[in-house]
Amino acid sequence: MSQRKRQRLRVTFSTEGSIKYVGHLDLASVWERALRRAGLPVLYSQGFHPQPKIHFASALPVGVSGRAELMDVWLSPPQQPDDVARRLQPMLPRGLHVRAVFEVPLRAPALQTQVRGAMYRIWVESDATATAFRAQLEALLASAEIFLTRRRKKGVVRYNLRPLIQEVRFLGREEDGYAFFARLQSETGSTGRPDALLQALQLADAPRRIERLCLLGVTLDGCEISVADGAGADVNIPAGECIANQPGH
């Protein structure tokens, strides 16, 4: 049997508004159905339970919006990337947007293995003074270890958040709270979550708005580095660190 020609596309997407409350697994089904509605020939795995071949770079935590999330989707036969973007967008639920689609080599490493960290912009309600809030952030960075507990399926796990915090930068007062920028490690098995950061600040239940500005990781050969829509303009994302969302050359 002759192998049909395949294609691997990298989709950069953003989420906005209420769709941030949809969890990662559910969001995967949302994409799967949108791809089917768009009539795109997604490749399926073989076996008893054929699964569409869609891989995400990193799960977006519930309640967090993403400005430049990444996923790879395999199609067969191959399609024009621009055409895919154009057909996909109208099929998406409110708040989900395709930012870019480009082809990557079939043998490129799995997206998930490329991610090293993520940049977040966090706003949280607080009635502390600016000085006190800043001091709290600095104290976080100054401490050698920050032990937190997390509820998992198999009971409660204690872990150290500190090594997962790569950078925290205070941005200023906004509405009834403060905005700050955080760069957290994000690797399989050791991922710093922004809500853990708020937990460490004793603000676990406070109203917040969290945006993942971009994912950081190993860049692809031949891909230019950029950040969608000027995300993170006020946080100065170091060039050369975000995973690309534009085709090169």
Partner 1 sequence: MHHSIDTPEAIWRALDRFLFRVRQPARYVGGEVNSIQKNWDEISSRLVLLFPDTYEIGMSNLGMMILYDIVNEQANMLAERAFLPWVDMEAEMRQRGIPLYSLESFQPLGNFDVIGVTLPYEQLFTNVLSALDLAGFPLRAADRDASWPLVVAGGSAGLNPEPMHAFFDAFFIGEGEEGVLDIMRSYETWRRKFDIRPRVGWHPGGAQLRTTKDILLRSLAHIPGLYVPALYDVRYYADGRVRDIRIKPGYEKDAALPVQKRIMAILPPPLTRYIVPNIKTIHNRPSVEIQRGCTRGCRFCQAGIIFRPVRERPLDEVLRAVDEIIDSTGYEEISFLSLSASDYSRIGELTQAVVAKYADQNISIALPSLRIESFSVQLMETLAQGRRRSGFTFAPEAATDRLRDVINKPISTEALLAVADQVYSRGWTTIKLYFMIGHPTQTMADVEAIADLAHQVWHVGKHYLGHKAKVRLTISTLVPKPHTPFQWVAMADETEIRAQIAYLQHRLGGSAFHLNWNDPRETLMEAFLSRGDRRLSDVIQRAWELGARFDAWEDQFNDVAWQQAFAEHGLDPDWYARRPRDLDELLPWDHIHVGVDKSFLQEQYRLALAGGVVDDCHEHCYSCGILSHYRRERRQAPDDAWGCPALGRGKAHQPVSAHAVPMYFNPEMSPEQANTTRRPQRLSRLQAIGEETP
Question: 52-71 mask for partner 1 (x: CB under 8 A)?
Answer: x---------xx--------
The Cα 87–Cα 108 span in angstroms is 25
Q: For residue 144, what are its two tokens?
A: 């050698």
* Residue placing its CB nearer to partner 1 in the complex, 124 or 165: 124
* Residue placing its CB nearer to partner 1 in the complex, 75 or 237: 75
DSSP bridge pairs for 90: none
List the interface residues with partner 1, window 133-192 (CB under 8 A).
none
Number of chain residues interacting with partner 1 (CB under 8 A): 34
Question: 82-121 mask for partner 1 (x: CB under 8 A)?
Answer: ---------xxxxx--------------------------
Question: CB of 217: closest distance to partner 1 in angstroms?
Answer: 26
The Cα 194–Cα 132 span in angstroms is 20
User: Contact between 29 and partner 1 (CB under 8 A)?
Assistant: yes
Alpha-carbon Rg for the chain, nearest whole angstrom, is 19
In 3D space, the residue among 232, 208, 185 whose CA is nearest the CA of residue 67 turns out to be 232
Question: CB of 241: closest distance to partner 1 in angstroms?
Answer: 28
Please give the full DSSP string across 127-186, using - where no structure is assigned.
-S-HHHHHHHHHHHHH-S--EEEEEETTEEEEEE-GGGEEEEEEEEEETTEEEEEEEEEE
Q: Applying CB under 8 A, which residues contact partner 1? A: 17-19, 21-23, 26-27, 29-30, 32-37, 44, 48-50, 52, 62-63, 91-95, 125, 195, 205, 207-209
